[in-house]
Amino acid sequence: MSHFTTVQTKINNVARLVLVLKELGFAFTQAHENETVKVKGYLGQTTGAKIAIHASKTYDIGVTVDAETGNVAFVADWEFVEMTAGYNQDQFTRKVVQRYAYHTVKEEVTKRGYTLEEEKIDENQQIHIKVSSWSE
């Protein structure tokens, strides 16, 4: 019998996470203020979350937000997400966290007055960026 398992992250900006989910092509439903959406799991089990990422027709990945820290966690029936969506917990989390970090760095670089000159993705799928600044 399967069950929901939670993966903690250091993600704490839901708006940036939504940008990443859109960029990666995930379909999702976001709850309205002070509400939750249902996250589908094994045999019709559900749990509540701020965002339900539709991993497949029958299984979702939920996004919950810790009220104290503001950090996001992903909750899903990962065994069945992997069987129906074709990716596992680690692959999903790594991909989302990488894009989230990329956008965080890009935003911070811009705030500090730097210009993004170049970006490359190497054979290990690591992102390398080159920035510059005109100093007086």
In the CATH hierarchy, which fold is given to the domain comprising 5-100? TATA-Binding Protein (3.30.310)
**pLDDT tens digits, one per residue of 103-134:** 998 888 888 888 888 888 888 888 888 888 76
pLDDT at 110: 86
Q: Where are the domains of the chain?
A: 5-100
HEC secondary structure over the chain: CCCCEEEECCCCCHHHHHHHHHHCCCCEEECCCCCCEEEECHHHCEEEECEEEECCCCCEEEEEECCCCCCEEEEECHHHHHHHHCCCHHHHHHHHHHHHHHHHHHHHHHHCCCEEEEEEECCCCCEEEEEECCCC
Record the pTM.
0.86
**pLDDT one-digit tens code per residue, 15-38:** 999 999 999 999 999 999 899 999
| Position 88 pLDDT exceeds 60 | yes
Q: What is the pLDDT of residue 5?
A: 85
